[in-house]
Amino acid sequence: MSNLLEKASIITTPTAYDNGKILSVKPAPSLGSELVVNGTFDSNINFWNKGGGNVNPLSWDNEKIKITNDVAQLNSARQTITTQIGKTYKVSADVNSVNGLTPRLASSNPTTA
């Protein structure tokens, strides 16, 4: 008879029993430290820079960064962070458009050390 562990692709530790069943909870993956500085815009937009366009389109508006934009300017808010090849990063953002333009979250200009 073959060993069950040789064929298992996921092994979990039982954490509870219920009505003759073994229950187990898959642990949530742990995340590293936050790389973005002032990503919640609590009281200002410090550490954020404008990208594109010829005017300063960035302003702070009630715990949000506001980017004044039109199709010709292609303004953006940017921040440089350092990442490492081979690592996985989680990126999330809440983005609103008030004028019908399509907001984007993007990475650009990767460099290697």
Q: What does the chain come to in residues?
A: 113
Beta bridge partners of 65: 60
| pLDDT of the residue at 40 | 92
Ordered DSSP codes for the chain: ---HHHH-S------EEETTEEE--PPPPPP----STTTT-SS--TT-EEESSSS--EEE-SSSEEE---TTT--EEE------TT-----------SSS-------------
CA 36, 37, 42, 45 dihedral sign is negative
Count of CB atoms situated within 10 Å of the CB of 63 = 10
Domain locations in the chain as residue ranges = 32-92
pTM: 0.62
Beta bridge partners of 18: 21
List pLDDT tens digits, range 44-87.
999 998 887 667 788 898 999 888 876 666 778 888 888 888 88
List pLDDT tens digits, range 9-50.
666 677 777 787 877 777 777 888 899 999 999 999 999 988
Higher pLDDT, 91 or 105: 91
